[in-house]
């Protein structure tokens, strides 16, 4: 979560996107982290921050508003001269790949041995 900030320091003009598949903690949990300000500042150095589902965005926005006292305008927040957009990008699995693998004789044999 600190990486976007580190990259921004080294490469100020870099386009930075960050995706987090695992849950972002609720504000109640996030606020007890000693590094909460550094984490939020690091993430907000990205141009685009995406989460797996909308619930994680709600947690991120709540933590940002409460920890850094920054207000979101719909799906974006401004930090100094930079605007960071957030969105949910639900990822699925390739059903056909896994469905076809199970029909393979080797896989079927391995399951039953």
What DSSP string runs through the chain? --HHHHHHHH-TT---EEEE-SPPPPHHHHTT-TTHHHHHHHHTTSSEEEESSHHHHHHHHHHHHHHS----BTTEEEETTEEEEEEE------HHHHHHHHTSHHHHHHHH-
Domains detected in the chain: 3-112 (3.40.50.2000)
In the structure, what pLDDT confidence band is assigned to residue 102 with cuts at 50, 70 and 90? confident
Question: Of 41-45, 85-89, 105-109, where does mean pLDDT reach its minimum?
Answer: 105-109
Reported pTM: 0.78
pLDDT tens digits for range 46-96: 999 999 999 999 999 999 999 999 888 889 999 888 899 999 998 877 777
């Amino acid at each position: 979560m600190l990486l976007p900030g580190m990259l921004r320091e080294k490469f100020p003009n870099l386009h930075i996107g960050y995706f987090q598949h695992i849950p972002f903690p609720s504000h109640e949990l996030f606020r007890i982290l000693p590094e909460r300000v550094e984490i939020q500042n690091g993430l907000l150095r990205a141009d685009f921050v995406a989460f797996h589902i909308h619930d994680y965005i709600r947690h991120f926005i709540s933590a940002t508003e409460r920890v850094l006292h920054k207000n979101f305008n719909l799906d974006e927040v401004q930090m100094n001269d930079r605007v960071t957009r957030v969105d949910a990008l639900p990822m699925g699995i390739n059903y056909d790949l896994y469905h076809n693998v199970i029909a393979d004789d080797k896989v079927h044999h391995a399951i039953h041995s």
